[in-house]
Amino acid sequence: MPFIGAGGVAQVAYTVVYFTAVMLIALFPGRMIDTVGKIITPVLILALIVLATAAVFMPAGVIGEPTGLYLEAPLSQGFIQGYQTMDALGALVFGIVIINAIRSRGISEARLLTRYAIVAAIIAAVGLALVYLSLILLGANSGVLAPDASTGAPILSAFVHYIFGPMGSALLAIVITLACLTTAAGLVSACGDYFSKLLPMSYRSVVVAVSLFSTVVANMGLEQLIAVSVPVLSAIYPVAIALVALSLASALWRRPSRVFIPTLGVASIFGVMDGLTAAGFGYLVPEAIASMPGANLGLGWLVPVLLALIASATYDRFHKNG
């Protein structure tokens, strides 16, 4: 935006070029790991290190006072806002990309696939933790630079310009462009792999269709995207989180379907209720559900899902037929 302007022809032209690059990377999945891993990622990591160092050692101010729900319920508010990163949802589909990348190196043994996937997960977790901690600190110290910001983007932009001047805007452009490019290419590739098996469409057709759709949606703008996505994410995330937790504990279940089906069923019901509330249709949610602990904070699903898990796990453990 600082270089080509916001909205209009400039934004359309940028998104067309951007998703053309995404499409080309995703069209050749065998080469994607080399393109991302050997070319894009080193530049991205270097830029993130520079940005994180500035956030830690060159703060624009002091840590500000929390406001709104961050004052009343900081943990739950941070938890809900974390939905917007879509990391858990991304992890569920990126698993396909990681496994395919490992297999493309000629590794097919289940034990080795698991080992390398775990190593990749640890690297990703540590990297994401460092990125988010630096962004948390940056936002806490630098909110004064953009006091009326409704998202973190204006604060981040103001900070890099404050610290680095015009070069800061170039640094931020590199970080965001490359970070989103790798994510978009991975997601488009995962969609191509999944939907080409589900629908009568080839992998390349799905990649082209998803890229064209994303080009259109990307022109909605960040605030509009967040407004649309939050209700959807509020509905999906309870299921995603429960699915990840149940899968990690799969060795504990004698017959997984006994635990998965009721627990994910309850997560789905309460997720939809939270999604309706987030979308402004809270009046459609039954009073009994709306009054559940944490419901006003978007976490009304937590207690019911835990109770469903305990009940179904107990039934699974003591059922006579194994």
* Mean pLDDT value across the chain: 84
Cβ atoms within 10 Å, residue 156: 23
The predicted pLDDT at position 309 comes to: 94
Q: What is the pTM of this model?
A: 0.70
Which residue has 């699903």 as its token pair?
A: 301
| Cα distance between residue 191 and residue 96, in whole Å | 10
| Cα radius of gyration rounded to whole Å, the chain | 22
The predicted pLDDT at position 135 comes to: 86
Q: What DSSP string runs through 235-284?
A: HHHHHHHHHHHHHHTGGG-SSHHHHHHHHHHHHHHHHHHHHHHHTT-GGG
Contact at 8 Å (CB) between 70 and 152?
A: no
Contact at 8 Å (CB) between 223 and 58?
A: no
pLDDT by residue for the chain (322 residues), tens only, comes to 777 777 788 888 989 999 999 998 888 866 666 666 677 778 878 888 888 888 888 888 788 788 777 887 788 778 777 777 777 787 887 787 788 888 888 888 888 998 998 998 899 889 888 888 888 888 888 888 888 777 777 888 888 888 888 888 888 888 888 888 888 888 898 889 889 999 999 999 999 999 999 999 888 877 778 778 888 888 888 999 999 899 888 888 889 999 999 999 999 999 898 888 878 887 888 888 878 887 777 778 889 999 999 999 999 988 776 5
Q: What are 149-158's pLDDT values in tens digits? A: 777 778 888 8
Amino acid letter, 294: G
